[in-house]
Amino acid sequence: MSDLLTTFTFVLEIDSVEVGSFRKVSGIESETETIEYKEVNKDGKMIIRKQPGAMKWSDITLERRIDVSQVLWNWRKEIIQGDVDKGRRNGAILAKDSKGETVARWEFVAGWPSKWSGADFDAGANDIATEKVVITHEGLVRVK
């Protein structure tokens, strides 16, 4: 019997190294643009044909509890300092079950952190301080 979805953890892997686990991941999606054109068939009737166009991938957003690790911030800092080529990395998002085994894996190409957000601090709240990173990339594929 497989685990319930709520028992999964999500791991970010950059250049084959696991850099952290996350409580929330969004943007694992791809889309093909649709090109429409009109055509007249042999009976003189106008029809609209639809063809696949360019592929598009959404940015991946990951959110986790803030801890001592500065991996995400240091990666973002490379982009801030203007070294975008060095900042581009291949990576993966892994969904792991409660035993730590990978049950799904999505790999992205030439990713770079286009946005990093730190926590909103409120001493009167019971919220967990989190950080969020948005990874812009040039392709995503599910390999497991």
Q: Are 63 and 130 within 8 A, CB to CB?
A: yes
**Which CATH fold would you assign to the domain 5-142?**
Pnp Oxidase; Chain A (2.30.110)
For the whole model, what pTM was predicted? Answer: 0.85
Closest to 138 in 3D by CA, of 85, 83, 66: 85
Domains of the chain by residue range? 5-142
> Cα 73 from chain centroid?
17
121 pLDDT higher than 90: no
In this predicted structure, what is the pLDDT of residue 5?
A: 54
Rg of the chain over all Cα atoms, to the nearest angstrom:
20
pLDDT of 7 reads: 62
| pLDDT tens, position by position, 123-136 | 787 888 889 999 99
Q: List, for residues 44-74, the tens digit of each pLDDT value.
A: 999 999 999 999 999 999 999 988 999 999 9
